[in-house]
Amino acid sequence: MLFSWITLKQSLQETVSLALDAFTTDQRKDWRRTLLLIVTCSVTSLLLSSLLLLYLLFTLDYKLSVAGGITGCFGFLLTSAFLLSKTVRCLGTLFVISVFMKKSRNLLLTAGTSLVVLKNIRNTVENLTRLVRSMICNLKAKKASITAPFSNYINMLKWIGSLLKGVTDLGVVNLQSKLKVSPRIESENFELKLSEAEQKLNETVKNAQALMATVSSVTERLFPAISFLVLMLVIALHIKKFRNNMKYQNRFISRKFVVFDEKQKAEGKPHVLPLTAEEEKLYPFIPSARPTTREGKAVLKFGAPIISHAVTWIIFITVDALLYCFIDFVTKKLSELKPFHVPLMISFKGVATLIGIPFDEETQEKDFSYSVTLFEKQCLPEPELLLYNSLFPLSAILLTLLIMALMAAKVSQLRLMVCERFFATTGDTRVEYLHGKILRRRFKLRKENDCNLKSFILKPQFWCPMLFRPKCDPQSAA
């Protein structure tokens, strides 16, 4: 059982190694390598085609049949391109790796900013709109109810008139009076101002919503496609610089460099390994799990925009949440506020006299009190909070960015290793250039040290230190 497991493990490793070698080279010596190349290219194109399918279905809202047809054609063309060109295979591999590079970081930061702008800022605008509309609604309601207290005053005057009528009826002379009170409020200008304010508010909100809808539509539909094209252009430029410019990121000691140096040493030619402590800082080995100081600085540099964007997102979300809390608090307090009671009590005291002598006294009272509401309940604003709708997507984006920040320093090394694997001839040339560069640097440093030693020997204080003492600075001596 153990022997069969070891055999299976060895055969699996050989198959993976052969498939990797067939994918990164153009050598098709037998049918097995060709079959492995076809399978590897098909799996890779299937992975990339699935991303296109998701984009067409959930972003552009294509039907499944249309999206499936486009994805199938794209997958067939991509598989054919992978089979025919090694450069296209390298481009596709680097595209998958570049998910963890700076461009992908910028894409995720832009996606997070768009999410905050299109959700929280839109919600802030809508809550402000609800607040203003509630104020207009309350003004309209107050305009309709402002005449209600006057009816109490009218009834009060009528009641007083009825009492006075009894007093003025003397039997011989009867004084009759008619009291007519008709309240009227000139409100045409008030209504005009309210209508203008409401119309202007509706136009502003409509324009803001149209602008946000346009930005949202353009961002959701065009941004992924433009980002894909930009990312592919950056990868193509990287491959071009790797193949044509020997100085481009050529400071890492790879396995191929070690083999080349051992070969130089075996042939009796100058070799550079092992490196000095200073050279190990300048030319790190790859792959290496131990982070270096330069890689730590790279992680900090990679994470600085993430921190600044996260702070900006938190500020916008906090403003939206604070506005919601403010409107909700005001709404609750206004709904709990009891109407103001305006007491209006009328007391009438009548005294009947005969020849100046009072003989009858009558007191009458009536309540004409009324209540006034500060804010109409049907006009209270109802704010909306989108805190959780934004936090979950932003948390996923920030978690992905954190993983990318930790892997940022190593991904650049992995990208160089992939290019070296696909373009072996260019990799050998770059190794020879780096090997010669280190040798030239050592020769230059050795020459400078020899010149410094020779100039020191020629100085007279080297031979007669007691007679030729170097002059000291009087300030430093003091």
What's the 3-state SS for 432-451?
HHHHHHHHHHHHHHHHHHHH
Q: Are residues 129 and 63 in the same domain?
A: no
- Which range is least confidently modeled, 2-6, 163-167, 191-195, 467-471? 467-471
Domain boundary among 66, 84, 102: 84
Give the pLDDT confidence of 143-155 residue by residue, as tens digits.
666 666 666 667 7
Q: Are residues 294 and 248 in the same domain?
A: yes
Q: Are residues 314 and 214 in the same domain?
A: yes
What backbone torsions phi and psi does residue 141 show, to the nearest 5 degrees? -65, -40
Q: Examine residue 182 and state whether it is found in any structural domain, yes or no.
A: no
Q: Are residues 279 and 410 in the same domain?
A: yes
For residue 206, the Cα-to-chain-centroid distance in whole angstroms is: 25
Q: Residue 172: its pLDDT value, please?
A: 45
Q: What angle do CA 203, 131, 391 make, to 5 degrees?
A: 95
How far is Cα 312 from Cα 305, in angstroms, rounded to an integer? 11
Q: Examine residue 181 and state whether it is found in any structural domain, yes or no.
A: no
How far is Cα 286 from Cα 414, in angstroms, rounded to an integer? 8
Q: How confident is the model at residue 472 (pLDDT cuts 50, 70, 90)?
A: very low
What backbone torsions phi and psi does residue 366 show, to the nearest 5 degrees? -150, 145
Which residue would you say has higher pLDDT here, 287 or 450? Answer: 287
Q: Would the pLDDT of 198 be above 60? A: yes
- Say how many domains are in the chain: 2
What backbone torsions phi and psi does residue 375 show, to the nearest 5 degrees? -145, 130
Which residue would you say has higher pLDDT here, 168 or 141? Answer: 141
> Dihedral (C-alpha) 22, 27, 30, 32: value to the nearest 10 degrees?
10
Query: Which is nearest to 230 in space by CA: 216, 238, 86?
Result: 238
Q: Residue 353: its pLDDT value, please?
A: 61
Which residue would you say has higher pLDDT here, 54 or 263? Answer: 263
Domain boundary among 60, 84, 108: 84
Q: Examine residue 238 and state whether it is found in any structural domain, yes or no.
A: yes
Q: Are residues 347 and 239 in the same domain?
A: yes
Across residues 454-469, what is the average pLDDT? 59
CB 160 within 8 A of CB 348: yes
Residue 356 Ramachandran class (φ > 0 left, ψ -120 to 50 alpha, else beta): left
Give the pLDDT confidence of 71-112 residue by residue, as tens digits.
899 889 988 988 888 888 888 888 878 765 666 787 788 778
Strand partners, 174: 169
CB 299 within 8 A of CB 409: yes
C-alpha atoms less than 13 angstroms from C-alpha of 335 in its C-beta half-sphere: 12
Find the helix or strand (DSSP H, E) in which 352 lies: strand 345-354
How far is Cα 252 from Cα 437, in angstroms, rounded to an integer? 12
Q: Are residues 44 and 127 in the same domain?
A: no
What backbone torsions phi and psi does residue 6 show, to the nearest 5 degrees? -65, -40
Q: Are residues 161 and 16 in the same domain?
A: no
How far is Cα 290 from Cα 245, in angstroms, rounded to an integer? 28
Q: Examine residue 77 and state whether it is found in any structural domain, yes or no.
A: yes
Q: Kindly report the length of the chain.
A: 478
Give the pair of three-digit tokens for residue 271. Answer: 């070799």
Give the pair of three-digit tokens for residue 447. Answer: 């020459």
Q: Are residues 195 and 338 in the same domain?
A: yes
Which residue would you say has higher pLDDT here, 262 or 120? Answer: 262
Q: Are residues 47 and 162 in the same domain?
A: no
Q: Are residues 59 and 151 in the same domain?
A: no
Q: Examine residue 469 and state whether it is found in any structural domain, yes or no.
A: no
Q: Examine residue 170 and state whether it is found in any structural domain, yes or no.
A: yes
Q: Residue 127: its pLDDT value, please?
A: 84
Q: Examine residue 179 and state whether it is found in any structural domain, yes or no.
A: no
CB environment 65-95: b (16+ within 10 A), e (fewer): eebeebbeebbeebbebbbeeeeebbbbbbb
Q: How confident is the model at residue 1 (pLDDT cuts 50, 70, 90)?
A: low
CB 411 within 8 A of CB 286: no
Give the pLDDT confidence of 11-31 residue by residue, as tens digits.
787 887 887 888 888 777 777
Q: Examine residue 434 and state whether it is found in any structural domain, yes or no.
A: yes
Across residues 318-324, what is the average pLDDT? 87
Q: Would the pLDDT of 169 be above 70? A: no
Q: Would the pLDDT of 188 be above 60? A: no
Q: Are residues 54 and 112 in the same domain?
A: no
Domain boundary among 52, 84, 116: 84
Helix (H, G, I), strand (E, B) or coil at 77: helix
Give the pair of three-digit tokens for residue 23. Answer: 């994918």
How far is Cα 288 from Cα 306, in angstroms, rounded to an integer? 26
Query: Which is nearest to 433 in space by CA: 262, 266, 272?
Result: 272
Residue numbers of the domain that contains 306: 85-174+188-456
Q: Are residues 264 and 408 in the same domain?
A: yes
How far is Cα 441 from Cα 276, in angstroms, rounded to an integer? 12
Q: Residue 478: its pLDDT value, please?
A: 33
For residue 439, the Cα-to-chain-centroid distance in whole angstroms is: 48
E strand spans, 232-297: none
Query: Which is nearest to 381 in space by CA: 195, 45, 128?
Result: 128
How far is Cα 414 from Cα 238, in angstroms, rounded to an integer? 13
Query: Which is nearest to 94 in space by CA: 107, 79, 106, 104?
Result: 104
